[in-house]
């Protein structure tokens, strides 16, 4: 089954546009893609007419060009006939936005469209979903453009049963500077399921990290998913709902999924090298870290700071997560001290954390990072940077990133999330070094590298 028409369409038909209600979901989808994305969009409604100066075709077969993707936003009862017409017109695939299927007890209707699609080898996303978002290509979400926050293009693909969770995470990913290669809301996942997208994204050159929000599986499907994830050449991150009895009931009423035994599923993921995120902070931190680094670490951390308090807090968080922050040997301390600025040689604490004090300058951080990156026993370096220190410049991010590029040892930066520090943050991000805006998140980024253990 060819998924490329779903995710790389050149032509798209929006089926179900309204000639009376311009706020109808189909109208929103048409309007936001028309003239704003490279995909060519056609509107379809049985009554015909015009919409935004463009002709509205009465059926998909009337569209003058072959359609790669049909976005269906019509009443559920009409979907089987629309799908049949799409198959006859040799459309490449569909995103069925319409609700009113298994999630409300209409399993018969859902089964009908699945049977039809399988017989024709016709791929579709949904139903009961927002569909697909590909940066700078197209957006099938029925959310007005002015209300959406979109991540920049990047290398993280996010697959979500819940459209609301996906959109919420798009806001958070944007805030953290984590880019999307693809965002897919799969809803009831009647035809295309997580495992199908996992296999497809293995071949997608734009994707380095594959993240899932999962509510539940069919019987036996969870094991199949874990086994496929364990064979993935790319990091797989999973956040799961339905962990409690109440959550399980909510999952069933939302997308008609079976939440299953969470404890068994969680343990299986851990054993098979899939990275489980317990909450959204972990999800975003893990995705950002793994979008930069895919080589697993053991868990021995070096810390560099300009504030003793930040260093102490970081050690506590590392310890809580099971990381080792060992004291540096005297010979390593001596080597670092000799290369430090004269003004801090006598006051810097170099045990680990390395506290360079508030009088440090860029070169002191560079010296310390270069030396820690050369110590074989340390497999990750956390940099706690306070840009308001008088000796720090906006060039420091780029200078420290260069050390990673030369030494190959993962660096993780903590920088307060304030717009005036944007140049420093970009110095890291543009050079492939992840930046967190809390000490907890910085340690979680290291945690992602430790959890990512391809078999």
Residues 285-315: tens digit of each pLDDT: 999 999 999 989 999 999 999 999 999 999 9
Within 8 A by CB and 6+ apart from 293, the residues are 410, 434, 449
Domain at 12, CATH number: 3.40.50.720
> Considering the domain boundaries, does residue 349 fall inside one?
yes
Q: What is the pLDDT of residues 271-289, one digit of tens each?
A: 999 999 999 999 999 999 9
On whether both 440 and 336 belong to a single domain, the answer is yes
Q: Which pTM value belongs to this model?
A: 0.92
pLDDT for the residue 418 = 78
Q: In whole angstroms, how far apart are CA 285 and each of 243, 281, 449? A: 21, 6, 11
Look at residue 251 and tell me whether its pLDDT is greater than 60. Answer: no
On whether both 323 and 214 belong to a single domain, the answer is no
> Considering the domain boundaries, does residue 263 fall inside one?
yes
On whether both 308 and 434 belong to a single domain, the answer is yes
Q: Mean pLDDT throughout 159-171?
A: 96
Q: Mean pLDDT throughout 245-252?
A: 50
Contacts by 103-112, CB closer than 8 A, 24 or more apart = 103/128, 103/187, 103/188, 103/253, 103/254, 103/255, 103/256, 106/76, 107/256, 109/76, 109/77, 109/79, 109/80, 110/188, 110/190, 112/80
Look at residue 165 and tell me whether its pLDDT is greater than 70. Answer: yes
Domain at 184, CATH number: 3.40.50.261
Q: In whole angstroms, how far apart are CA 157 and each of 44, 318, 382, 453? A: 30, 28, 26, 19
> Considering the domain boundaries, does residue 13 fall inside one?
yes
> Considering the domain boundaries, does residue 142 fall inside one?
no
> Considering the domain boundaries, does residue 444 fall inside one?
yes
Strand partners, 378: none
Look at residue 255 and tell me whether its pLDDT is greater than 70. Answer: no
CA dihedral 385, 388, 389, 393 (to 10 degrees): 80
On whether both 243 and 189 belong to a single domain, the answer is yes
On whether both 422 and 299 belong to a single domain, the answer is yes
Task: With cut-offs at 50, 70 and 90, classify the pLDDT of residue 245.
Answer: low
Compute the mean pLDDT over every residue in the chain, rounded to the nearest whole number. Answer: 94
Task: Output the six-digit token pair for 319.
Answer: 């310890």
Task: Answer with the one of 292, 310, 344 that is the final residue of a domain.
Answer: 292
pLDDT for the residue 395 = 96
On whether both 288 and 339 belong to a single domain, the answer is no
Helix (H) or strand (E) holding 251: helix 245-255
Look at residue 319 and tell me whether its pLDDT is greater than 80. Answer: yes
pLDDT for the residue 259 = 52
CB-count exposure of residue 44 (10 Å: 0-12, 13-18, 19+)? buried
> Considering the domain boundaries, does residue 213 fall inside one?
yes
Task: Answer with the one of 264, 292, 320 that is the final residue of a domain.
Answer: 292
> Considering the domain boundaries, does residue 220 fall inside one?
yes
Q: Please, are residues 166 and 158 in contact by the beta-carbon 8 Å criterion?
A: yes
Q: In whole angstroms, how far apart are CA 178 and each of 212, 307, 309? A: 15, 27, 28
Q: 261 versus 200: which is more confidently predicted?
A: 200
The closest of 317, 320, 315, 293 to 303, measured between CA atoms, is: 315
Task: Answer with the one of 292, 316, 334 that is the final residue of a domain.
Answer: 292
The closest of 104, 112, 86 to 16, measured between CA atoms, is: 86
Q: Mean pLDDT throughout 242-250?
A: 58
Q: What is the pLDDT of residues 19-75, one digit of tens each?
A: 999 999 999 999 999 989 999 999 999 999 999 899 999 999 999 999 999 999 999
On whether both 199 and 309 belong to a single domain, the answer is no
On whether both 315 and 250 belong to a single domain, the answer is no
On whether both 6 and 106 belong to a single domain, the answer is yes
On whether both 227 and 311 belong to a single domain, the answer is no
Task: With cut-offs at 50, 70 and 90, classify the pLDDT of residue 254.
Answer: very low
Percent of the chain surpassing pLDDT 70: 96
Q: Please, are residues 321 and 443 in contact by the beta-carbon 8 Å criterion?
A: yes
Q: What is the pLDDT of residues 388-447, one digit of tens each?
A: 999 999 999 999 999 999 999 999 999 988 788 999 999 999 999 999 999 999 999 999
Which domain covers residue 42, as residue numbers?
Answer: 1-127
On whether both 322 and 409 belong to a single domain, the answer is yes
On whether both 10 and 113 belong to a single domain, the answer is yes
> Considering the domain boundaries, does residue 133 fall inside one?
no
User: What is the tally of structural domains in the chain?
Assistant: 3
């Amino acid at each position: 089954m060819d998924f490329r028409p779903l995710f790389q369409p050149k032509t798209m038909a929006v089926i179900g546009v309204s000639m009376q209600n311009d706020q109808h979901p189909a109208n929103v989808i048409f309007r936001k893609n028309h003239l704003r994305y490279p995909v060519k969009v056609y509107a379809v409604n049985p009554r015909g007419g015009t919409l935004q100066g463009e002709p509205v075709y009465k059926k998909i077969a009337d569209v003058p060009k072959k359609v790669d993707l049909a976005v269906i936003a019509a009443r559920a009862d009409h979907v089987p006939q629309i799908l049949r017409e799409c198959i006859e017109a040799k459309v490449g695939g569909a995103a069925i936005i319409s609700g009113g299927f298994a999630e409300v007890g209409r399993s018969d209707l859902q089964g009908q469209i699945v049977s039809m699609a399988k017989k024709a080898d016709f791929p579709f996303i949904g139903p009961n979903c927002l569909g697909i978002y590909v940066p700078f290509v197209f957006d099938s979400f029925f959310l007005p453009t002015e209300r959406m926050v979109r991540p920049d293009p990047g290398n993280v693909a996010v697959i979500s049963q819940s459209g609301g969770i996906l959109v919420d995470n798009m806001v958070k990913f944007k805030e953290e500077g984590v880019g999307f290669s693809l965002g897919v809301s799969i809803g009831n996942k009647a035809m295309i399921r997580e495992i199908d997208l996992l296999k497809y994204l293995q071949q997608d050159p734009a994707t380095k990290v594959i993240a899932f929000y999962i509510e539940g599986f069919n019987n036996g499907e969870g094991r199949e998913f874990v086994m496929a994830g364990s064979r993935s050449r790319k990091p797989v991150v999973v956040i799961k709902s339905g962990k409690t009895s109440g959550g399980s009931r909510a999952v069933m009423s939302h997308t008609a999924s079976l939440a299953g035994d969470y404890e068994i599923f969680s343990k299986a993921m851990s054993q098979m090298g899939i990275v489980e995120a317990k909450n959204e902070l972990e999800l975003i931190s893990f995705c950002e870290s793994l979008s930069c680094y895919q080589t697993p670490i053991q868990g021995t951390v070096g810390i560099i700071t300009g504030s003793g308090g930040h260093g102490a807090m970081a050690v506590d968080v590392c310890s809580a997560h099971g990381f080792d922050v060992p004291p540096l040997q005297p010979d390593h301390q001596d080597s670092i001290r000799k290369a430090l600025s004269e003004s801090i040689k006598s006051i810097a604490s170099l045990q680990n954390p390395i506290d360079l004090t508030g009088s440090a300058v860029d070169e002191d951080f560079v010296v310390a990072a270069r030396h820690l990156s050369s110590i074989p026993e340390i497999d990750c370096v956390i940099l706690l940077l306070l840009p308001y220190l008088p000796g720090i410049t906006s060039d420091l991010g780029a200078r420290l990133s260069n050390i990673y590029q030369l030494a190959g040892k993962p660096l993780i930066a903590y920088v307060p999330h304030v717009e005036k520090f944007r140049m420093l943050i970009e110095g890291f991000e543009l050079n492939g070094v992840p930046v967190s805006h809390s000490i907890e998140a910085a340690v979680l980024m290291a945690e992602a590298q430790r959890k990512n253990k391809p078999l």
